[in-house]
A and B are shown apart, each in its own frame.
Chain A
Amino acid sequence: MRSLVLGLVLGGLLGLYLGWFQFPRDAYRGDMTELAQSFRDDYAVMIAAGYAADGDLPGALDRLSRLRIDDIPRYVQQLTDRVIASSARDIRDIRLLVALARGLGRLTPAMEPFLDLRGGGR
Chain B
Amino acid sequence: MGRELPPPAWITPQPPPPQRELEEPRPQSFFSYGFFSFALAVGLVLGLGLSWALGPLPERNTEPFQLKREDRNHYLIAIALEYEHSGNLHRALEKLVALRPLGDPLQALADAACELASSDYINSESGVKALRMAARMYTAQGRGGCAEPLLPAEDLPDKPAAASDPAAPLPSPTAPPTKTPSRRASRATATLRAVATSVPQRTFSPLPASTFCDTANRAVIEVKIVDYLGRGIPGQRIRVRWGDEENVFLSGLKPERGTGYADFQMDEEISYSIDMPGASDPLRADLITGRCYTESGRESLKSFRVTFRADS
Which residues of A come within 8 Å of B, CB atoms? Answer: 2-20, 23-25, 27-32, 34-37, 39, 42-43, 45-50, 52-56, 58-59, 62-63, 66, 92, 95-96, 98-99, 102, 115, 118-122
How distant is the Cα of A120 from the Cα of B167 in the complex, in angstroms? 9
Q: Smallest CB–CB gap between B276 and chain A, Å?
A: 28
Q: Are B78 and A99 in contact (CB under 8 A)?
A: no
Question: Main SS of the interface on chain B?
Answer: helix
Nearest B residue (CB) for A56: B126
How distant is the Cα of A14 from the Cα of B125 in the complex, in angstroms? 52
Given contacts A20-B51, A20-B55, A99-B165, contact A12 B67 (CB under 8 A): no
Q: Smallest CB–CB gap between B123 and chain A, Å?
A: 12
Task: Chain A residues near B162: list those with CB within 8 A.
Answer: 53-55
B130 at the interface (CB under 8 A from A): yes
Q: Are B126 and A14 in contact (CB under 8 A)?
A: no
Task: Chain B residues near A4: list those with CB within 8 A.
Answer: 35-36, 38-39
Q: How large is the interface on B (under 10, 10 to 19, 20 to 34, 35 or more residues)?
A: 35 or more
Q: Are A16 and B165 in contact (CB under 8 A)?
A: no
The stretch that binds A, out of B80-88, B102-110, B193-201, B227-235, is B80-88
Contact among A58, A92, A102 with B126 in the assembled complex (CB-CB below 8 Å): A58
Q: Are B37 and A55 in contact (CB under 8 A)?
A: no
B33 at the interface (CB under 8 A from A): yes
Q: Are A47 and B81 in contact (CB under 8 A)?
A: yes
Interface residues of B in 95-132 (CB under 8 A from A): 95, 124-127, 129-130
Task: Chain B residues near A118: list those with CB within 8 A.
Answer: 166-167, 169-170
